[in-house]
Amino acid sequence: MKALILVGGFGTRLRPLTLSMPKPLVDFANKPMVLHQIEALKAVGVTEVILAINYQPQVMLSFLEEFEPKLGIKITCSQENEPLGTAGPLALAKEKLLEEPDKPFFVLNSDIICEYPLSEMLDFHKVHGGEASIMVTQVAEPSKYGVVIMDEESGQINKFVEKPPVFVGNKINAGIYLLNTSVLDHISLKPTSLERQVFPSIADKGQLYAMVHTGFWMDVGQPKDYLAGLGLYLDYVRSNSPSELAVGRNIIGNVLVDGTAKIGEGCLIGPDVVIGPGCMIESGVRLSSCTIMKGVRVKRSAHVSESIIGWHSTIGESAQVSSMAVLGEDVHVNDTMFLNGVMVLPHKEIKTHFLKPEIVM
Ligand code: GTP
């Protein structure tokens, strides 16, 4: 069985992290986002994952070289010359997908973190017998997503309403699909949207079904949702493999620490914190609801909360970083600085306080 992961797009909402790395390779809970998906696909018997890319091919190819042998699954790239949106990449990879014409294939958005109920989806697809299945999830604020209007009993989808200004329903497209290869007949090799063009036409034929996913789900493509998703993911780890989480007198709630990170005396860490490989957390540091990526140094008595600290950055002694601050790669915050909600582009040194949200260019 094959799968295609949409790993193109520009990841503008997750800047400045995506200025150093394509969004699917940005770490989430200490591994590239797309790795969570490839592992889940492998677990249900997918034998080849096609990564549909449209920029920075070199970075993606080095990822492949590193992870293909480690994971023991075939990973190939399908590269666009121009961004083909969410459907065009399927037409580009048509030949590969048609190597197994009688088997359905998965399509995933690269920024979705959930329990990946892919084996349930295979069963669901078989039972309804339609051409396409999409996973939907219920959210409190449907207005920023594509809402699906469906028959609650059969799951058959009647229509899609993209970002509805008034309430029409709260089940949204969760960005995970299982499609028969016949769907490829409806997609041409040009920039096209699955959600806006292809799915509505399959729904018109009564061939599109929605499987409601009730477990945790988050599109982690922007900082606020990334951190919210991290909290949900760590709760899931707590329920399913608690031994992965850190324990100790200085740990509060769910905390994931890479084995190569060092944590000094008198720190207080958690809840909902991830500390990456090679990080150095000095004494008396306070961390809560944040991700500290690979190679970061947090100096003595610094505080970081509700923020994402990009690779190889430094937080100065007694500095405070809070309120959805996102620091790009290799940012150096001087001692005693206060940063509130600020976005800092890569390779900068911060010598001034930023007390309200700003972008440091
Ligand atoms: P933003 O710029 O922050 O909106 O992010 P994005 O460009 O990733 O867009 P969005 O989150 O809407 O994309 C949904 C999924 O489609 C993600 O997995 C993207 O990686 C992927 N995607 C978006 N546009 C393209 C494209 O032109 N080509 C390919 N191959 N994938 C795409």
With CA atoms as reference, report the closest residue to 11 among 122, 109, 151.
Answer: 109
Q: Nearest C-alpha to atom 10 of ligand 1 is from which residue?
A: 9
pLDDT at res. 37: 95
Ligand 1 binding pocket mutation candidate from 111, 176, 193 (most atoms within 8 A of CB): 111
Name which residue leads in pLDDT, 153 or 87.
87
- Residue 88, domain member (yes or no): yes
How many domains would you assign to the chain?
2
Q: Band of the pLDDT at 213, cuts 50, 70, 90?
A: very high
Pair 180, 256 in one domain: no
Cβ neighbours of 346 (radius 10 Å): 18
Outline where 26-117 has alpha helix (H).
Answer: 33-43, 57-71, 88-92, 94-97
Pair 327, 180 in one domain: no
Task: Answer yes or no: is the C-beta of 8 below 6 A from any ligand 1 atom.
Answer: yes
Cα 229 to the center of its chain, rounded Å: 9
Measured in Å, residue 326 CA sits from the centre of ligand 1 at 20
Name which residue leads in pLDDT, 56 or 314.
314
By residue range, what is the domain housing residue 349?
246-360
CATH code, domain carrying 175: 3.90.550.10
- Residue 230, domain member (yes or no): no
Task: Answer yes or no: is the C-beta of 86 below 6 A from any ligand 1 atom.
Answer: yes
Pair 213, 259 in one domain: no
- Residue 233, domain member (yes or no): no
pLDDT at res. 343: 94
Residue 216: phi and psi, rounded to 5, are -70, 150
- Alpha-carbon distance of 207 to 157, in angstroms, equals 8
- Residue 225, domain member (yes or no): no
Pair 328, 188 in one domain: no
CATH code, domain carrying 286: 2.160.10.10
Residue 56 clears pLDDT 80, i.e. is over it: no
Measured in Å, residue 10 CA sits from the centre of ligand 1 at 6
Q: Band of the pLDDT at 229, cuts 50, 70, 90?
A: very high
Measured in Å, residue 327 CA sits from the centre of ligand 1 at 22
- Residue 107, domain member (yes or no): yes
Task: Answer yes or no: is the C-beta of 223 below 6 A from any ligand 1 atom.
Answer: no
Model pTM?
0.92
Pair 109, 180 in one domain: yes
Task: Answer yes or no: is the C-beta of 299 below 6 A from any ligand 1 atom.
Answer: no
pLDDT at res. 115: 92
Beta bridge partners of 286: 268, 303
Pair 194, 336 in one domain: no
